[in-house]
Each structure stands twice: as structure tokens, then as C-alpha cells.
Amino acid sequence: MTRARSPRAADVTPPGPSGPSSDIHRMGRGGGLNLVGAVCNQLALFAVISLLARLGEQDVGRYASCFALLSLLALLSLAGFRSAMTRFVAMHVADGDASRLRGTLRMGLGLTLLAATVIGVVLALLAPWVAAVLGDPSLAPGVRLVGLSIPAVTFSDAALAATQGWRTQRPFTLIGRVFEPLLKLALTAGAIAAGYGFLGAMWAVVIAAWSAAALAGLALRRQLRGTPRANAVYEIREIFGFSMVSWVSALAATGLIWVGTLLLGAIENQQEVGLFNVATRLVMLAVFVMAPINAAFTPHMAHLFHTGQTAEAARAYGSATRWILTLSMPAFIVLVAFPEQLLGYFGPSFATAASVTVILALGQFVSAAAGPCGTVLNMSGRVRLTMLDNIAALALNVVLNLVLIPEHGVVGAALAWSASLVVANVAKVLQAHYIVGVHASGAGVGRILAAAVPAAAAAWLLTQWTHHWVGVVLVAAPVVAAVFLGALVALGVQPDDRALARSFWRRLRPRRGA
């Protein structure tokens, strides 16, 4: 239900026209921009891991353990305000309510920055104990640098999430997905070339994080220029009710990603962590499209649910799912067909993680096919349901890790993660359909799977002649992608996709003419 506007609220100009076609096109254009950012982000992360891999599996493992700690504690500091900032800013912009908009921003940014500072200081003081728990006392300096990074990462995440409430992806993408990872890569390369190794890479994280935080603050300030000055109204009960549940849910979801890394280090050693992280980073290249499309999808879904457009929400859900699965499918096929060859890029010792790569790829494939089902639940107001799903998946993951890692090592961690992903995503898809009443309308999953059959056959034929990662990248991957896209076009292009392509072409023509 749409909340009535406050008679004392100052007007905020809504971000452009709305309607079925405009929402899909805006989401598609935002997803396209985010896609470019995701390519930069994933390639930069991949390059950082590649640089560390030249130093050995242990340095990759140490970096992965610190990165896992940073991800979890930064999310702990956010206290659920990442989703809350996007959702409530989008609602207040749609309602033209400047007072509540300013109250949301002040409360969200202030509380998260305070929490992040406290957590960062405590972590720095407890660094030797934390390093011992992670199974490697030499991690203590890296843990202190994680504490120094947490306030910057938290503020940047909150501020960029707020800018998305205006249904624009530019600050989020250009700062969070392009500037920060590329700066981190350049600094890491310089540090490793200078001989500073793992600690140099961690200092690169610190510098890049604080630089991105400064730019994120400037971007949010610029976005607010069109908002009239008004006395801030703090919707403490509504925002905390949403953000606390979202917080627990996000912690569980992020824990699902990183708990295998932390438990591998505690139960086995940092070398196993290094193998697991290299395989994970390789698989994440296949699903890098999920994050940018989901980021573009989130504010539009919040707007559609807030204005009662359930049918259009289902259509947007279907479009996002179709784009994720279509863009990911060729990479999944290549990963399953050529895991050992691709891992050879990192060095001969990493080829032993081939089975880990296949297991992780299969789990992520189910996640891609499910689409942004968790966002559908969150933006429809079912954050408690998402929280329960994520907690259950995390609990399952922890139990499976504790059972499988002692006997199967890194393969056990991969099995635990993939099984938990499958269970969580299947549950969320069913809940979106039967509880929210929204299914992925027009996703065309069957058509995509049909187009994957000839592409998989081409990949199988190429395995007979391709034995090095260079051949996979230069020959096998382009052939698989071409066969898949050709089959997909032959089976028919969706009307929304044709309209979106025409929209992109119209936007490009004046620039090309100029």
C-alpha cells in the first residue's frame, strides 16, 4: 500500500517517467552499466589473486582469510542499512518526501559509521587472538589492517546504496565497481613488485577503501542537490524493523559465502584455503553478471511493489532472471568442460582444484537459474522470510563443512557450499511464487537450456584438442559462446530484449553521429 504523503513534506523530483516499458528499459540500461562495472570488478579481483598466486598458495590463503573477515565485519557494521537505504530512499523519492529522505540518510550513515569504528578498533586490539583462531599467527598484521578498512568500506557501501534509491547506477558502478577495484589492483601490483607481498596487498585494500569512501560521500552529496532543505523526520521503528531483519539475513548470506574459507583455515591450513579461493574466484567470473543485474533490479522492484504493480514486478523478475542465465551459461559450460586447463593459469599446483571448480560451478548455476529471488522477497517486505532462509542455509553449510572438511578437505568445503546454495535458492523461488505471488514471468529458462545443448556438445568436442588455458580462452570459449548465442537467436528473441536493444541503439546513434 502506498503511504500518504505528509502535508509538511517538501517535494523531491522523481527520477523520470514510469511505466511498464520504461521500468524494464531503465532496469536494463542500469544493468548494462553495472555489467561494465562488474567486468572491471571481477577482472581486478581475478588479477589480484593471480598476482598473489605467483607468491604461493599460502599468501592467497592469507589474503582470502582477511578478505572474508573484512566482508563479514563490514556487513556486521552496516546493521542491515544497505538494503534499507536503497528501499526507503526509493520510497521517499517516489513519494516526494524530502523530510523522511533526509532523516533516513542521516540515521543510516551515522549509525553504520559509528558501529564500524567501534568494530574496527576492537578488531585491531584483538588481532593476535583472531589470527590464532584462524590457524595462522602471522595473520595478525593483516587483521589489524582489516580493522583499519572497516569504517571506510561500511560508509562507502551505505552511501552508494543510498544513491541507488534515485534509480541511478552511476555512482554505485563507477566508484564501487570500477574505481575502487582498479585502484586496489594497481596498488597491489606495485606493492608486490616492490617486495611487500601479502602485507602490501592488504595496505592496498586500506588505501583503496578510504579513497572510495571519500568519493561515495561526494556522490551522495551531489545526488542530494535537487532535494529541498527540510527538517529531518526519523522513521526509527519502520527502518529498524526492516534493517535489523535484513541485517541478520545479509549476515547469514555472506556467512554462507565465507564460512568455508574460515573453517578450512581453522581445520586444515592456509594452503587449502588458497586452492579453494582460486577455484571460487574462477567460478565467480561465470556469475559476475548476477551482482550488477541484481543491483539494477533492486530499486525498481522496491518502486514497483511500493506502487502496487505486481504484474510488472513479475515481468521485471523474469527479465532479470533471463539476462543472468543467458549471460552466464557459456561460462558455466566452459568451466565444467575445461577446469584443469583454466586452473593451469595460476600454476601447476592449482590444477588439483579441478573437481572443486566443477562442484562450485554446478551450485552457482542453480543460483543463476533462480534469478534475484531473494531480492523479490526483500523488496516485497518479506525480509523475515529471507532471514529464516539464509539462517537455515548457513546452519546447513556449517554442519556440512564440519562433517566434510576433516575427511575431504577442500572438496568437502565445495560440496557444503554448493548444497547450501541449491537448498536456499529453491526455497526462495517457491516462496516468491506461493507467498508473494510473483514468478519469473517470461524468463525462458527452457529455451536457454535448449540453446546450451549444442554449445555443450561443441565444448566436449574441443576438449579432445585443447589442453592449455590459452587455447581455452582464445578458441574454446569464443566457439562455445558463438554456438550458444546462435542457437538462442534461432529459438527466438524475447520482445522485451528486442525493445531494449532498440533503445540502446537509439541512445548510441546520436553519439556516433556526433
Alpha-carbon distance values, 37 to 63, 290, 296, 505 (Å): 23, 12, 12, 20
Give the cell for residue 475: 578458441
Question: CB–CB of 103/235 below 8 Å?
Answer: yes
What is the rounded average pLDDT for all residues in the chain? 82
Whose CA is closest to 485, among 327, 369, 305, 317? 327
182: which residues sit within 8 A by CB, 6+ positions away?
40, 44
**Residue 32 vs residue 434, higher pLDDT:** 434
Tell me the per-residue pLDDT of 326-379, one tens digit each, with 9 for 90 and over.
889 999 999 999 998 998 888 777 877 888 999 999 999 998 888 888 888 877
Per-residue pLDDT averaged across 319-330, rounded?
88
pLDDT category of residue 285 using cuts at 50, 70 and 90:
confident
* Dihedral angle computed from the Cα positions of residues 260, 265, 270 and 274, in that order, rounded to the nearest 10 degrees: 0
Q: How far apart are CA 411 and CA 353, in angstroms?
A: 8
pLDDT of residue 25: 53
Tell me the per-residue pLDDT of 221-258, one tens digit each, with 9 for 90 and over.
998 887 888 887 777 777 777 777 767 766 777 777 77
Per-residue pLDDT averaged across 493-497, rounded?
68
Question: What percentage of the chain has pLDDT greater than the value 90?
Answer: 28
pLDDT category of residue 23 using cuts at 50, 70 and 90:
low
Q: How far apart are CA 258 and CA 243, in angstroms?
A: 22
How do the domains of the chain map onto residue ranges? 20-504
Alpha-carbon distance values, 2 to 216, 303, 510 (Å): 30, 10, 39
pLDDT of residue 512: 45
310: which residues sit within 8 A by CB, 6+ positions away?
304, 437, 438
pTM of the model: 0.65
Q: Count CB-CB contacts under 10 A for residue 264.
A: 28
Tell me the per-residue pLDDT of 114-124, one tens digit each, with 9 for 90 and over.
999 999 999 99
pLDDT category of residue 9 using cuts at 50, 70 and 90:
very low
Q: In this structure, is the dihedral angle defined by the CA atoms of residues 84, 86, 89 and 92, taken in order, positive or negative? A: negative
End-to-end CA, the chain: 46
